[in-house]
Structure 1
Amino acid sequence: MREDHEIFDLVSAIEAAEGKGTTFYSWLDVPASASTAQIAKAYRKKSIQLQCVDITILNVASALLTFLANSPDKNKGVKNAHERFARLGVVSAILRKPESRKRYDFFYKNGVPKWRGTGYYYSRFRPGLGTVLVFLTLVSSVLQYQVQRLNYRRDLKRIEWIIDQARSAAWGSKMIPLDGQRKVKVNLGGGSRLDEDGNVVGGKMVDMIVEGNSVYILESDGGMITVDSNTAVAPSLKTTWFPSLVIHILGRVTKRGTPTDDGPTDNGDAGETEDGSATTSDVPGSGAVTPKEGTAPALKNGRIATTMAGGRRRKAVKKR
């Protein structure tokens, strides 16, 4: 409420000028139960004190004349006399009105809240457009980073579940490791479900290879992709939208300023070493996300999407 905001400002200003813990009543030197007449009398006395007028007996008429003759602007001997006098008038007006005094008495008894509402602070500080944009950028980037952390934890649990399913199918319920390679089919769809006609439909079945403690996705061409914790994309502030945008723009600018290289190019063999073996650069789906909870792994051209670190591909193996 606007009235509450006025009270909040006065409380802060009076404590800053008159001392910590100073209240409307203590500043006027009256009890909290003082009547309107007592408050009016205390106001006149306090106003005279602020004007540094040395008087002994003063009636209402002379007090009014003194107020007009000795305005705060003429009183340069009192520190911040104008501000204090104006503040005193507002305090007196609040305590003289029943509704506003009732609002103040509530905060007087219960204390002024530390958080006074977004509207209160916005109306006081009035942040500019630049400040608002910076604030929104920071908040959205931090929130996106938190979402990345949640997704990363979820993906790690999903990967552990896939590995456990593959090992269970290869080793049996006792989970005793066996030597050699074991080709198994793993349901990555989270179990069977019912279709629209009420028929039982199995989940996504994927061919996998278990070799020792290592687990691989078996591709249609016989290649194998490692499934481990490195497959999950770790959270990073660099991958949030604003740093990514800045890095992208800087990359474009740098690329434009770099002269082109007219040297010889390869013939598509950059993804192979001298002995002809494949490297991680020719792994289909490198850099994509990990499988989501309750669904089959993300596939691209029939192959599971992996990261550069986790998507290690092996040569084709002879299927047993």
Structure 2
Amino acid sequence: MRFLSLFLVFFALVGTALAWDKEDHEIFDIVSALEQAEGKGTTFYSFLNIPSTASVKEIGKAFKTLSVTMHPDKNPNVKGIAERFARLGTIWGILKKPEGRKRYDFFYKNGVPKWKGTGYFYSRYRPGFITVSLFLALLTSLFQHLYLTLNYRRDLQRITDLIARAQTLAWTTPASSSSSRVGGAQGAVARLPVAVKDAKKKVLVPLTAGTGAGGRTVECMVWREGEVYLIEPTSPPSQTLLTPDLVSKPSFTTSTWPFLLLQSLQQKVAGSKIPESPVEEGESSEEQEAVVVKEAGKEKSKKESGNGKAVKRR
């Protein structure tokens, strides 16, 4: 979330730096209209039939000549003459001012930018309230779906790592010799296979890799076939099979807020309520992982028990 916030701030600053003002937008409009009416590549100077190095006096002279020959009263039956005459006046209004000509010469030499700023497009295509609302809903839903997907991958990796650590602790034993360290790296103790006598083994598995004796652990039952069960601290204790299926993959049409809002409204109309899961703040990463594993295990157990499948293994 911090990276996302920095990205949005950076994007806003760049957008502000590259924004064009009202005078630039006027030039963009007349350049676009001029090329559409007179042909691609038509410039203010070619329209006035003068070189780009012409003086203001020469520009004024060319304007007066064209304003006489292009006047709508002298061309009553010419289609589009009024628009051309109005365009001529706008071009003269820009080029006769030093600042306006300086602005146009910049775009004349460097080209009109493809991205003209959000204000330019908004002022010309001005979307309605519904269009803006739908766009914002779609944009925020995409960011929410991205956030949920990243959380899904993180939780999936946690469960996969927990299963692997449990299997390693159950069916291997630390090597006693210091020479058996993996790659010679300090702290990376090699583990040797043990003779498998029992069909299952109970182990305490750290929630985070590399956690010392003071780290938080969970109790797991590891079966020789490779299955790992989380032992729930209930009375009597129950076991939940740990699989990647415990983590639900987010769906854009069922996990993002617009669809959840519609679902909530439908249920309220139907007279039902959506149960809300309590969210505790200030939890550590280990506590969050334990909650993910246990809550997902309970949900999986309920689903399997509803389908007539056994979820407990003693």
TM-score exceeds 0.5:
yes
1:295 corresponding residue in structure 2: 286
**C-alpha distance 219-310 of structure 1, shift in aligned 2 (>3 A):** closer
- By how many angstroms is 1:242 displaced? 0.6
Q: Distance in 2 between matches of 1:85 and 1:37?
A: 20
Q: Distance in 2 between matches of 1:247 and 1:177?
A: 54
**What is the TM-score normalised by the length of structure 1?**
0.71
**C-alpha distance 34-175 of structure 1, shift in aligned 2 (>3 A):** farther
Whether 2:205 is the aligned partner of 1:215: answer: no
Whether 2:270 is the aligned partner of 1:250: answer: no
Residues 162-189 of structure 1 show CA distances to partners (whole Å, capped at 9, x for unaligned) of 1221112112235789572121101114
**What is the TM-score normalised by the length of structure 2?**
0.72
Q: Distance in 1 between matches of 2:284 and 2:139?
A: 27
1:1-320 matched pairs, under 5 angstroms? 1-51=21-71, 72=72, 75-172=75-172, 173-174=191-192, 180-189=199-208, 191-192=210-211, 202-211=214-223, 212-220=225-233, 221-237=236-252, 238-254=254-270, 294-297=285-288, 304-306=294-296, 308-309=299-300, 314-315=311-312, 317=314
Residues 117-171 of structure 1 show CA distances to partners (whole Å, capped at 9, x for unaligned) of 1122222222222222111111111211111221122222222221221112112
For residue 240 of structure 2, give the secondary structure of its aligned residue in structure 1. Answer: strand
**C-alpha distance 134-309 of structure 1, shift in aligned 2 (>3 A):** same
- By how many angstroms is 1:206 displaced? 0.5
- By how many angstroms is 1:215 displaced? 1.6
> Is there any run of 5+ residues in structure 1 with no aligned partner, and where?
52-71, 194-200, 257-284
Q: Is the 8 A contact 2:200 2:222 kept in 1?
A: yes
- By how many angstroms is 1:247 displaced? 2.0
For residue 209 of structure 1, give the secondary structure of its aligned residue in structure 2. Answer: strand
> Is there any run of 5+ residues in structure 2 with no aligned partner, and where?
1-20, 173-190, 305-309
Q: Distance in 2 between matches of 1:94 and 1:177?
A: 90
Q: Distance in 1 between matches of 2:135 and 2:143?
A: 12
For 1:11, the aligned partner's letter is V
Identical aligned residues as a percent: 44
For 1:215, the aligned partner's letter is V
Q: Which has the higher helix share?
A: 2
- By how many angstroms is 1:44 displaced? 2.1
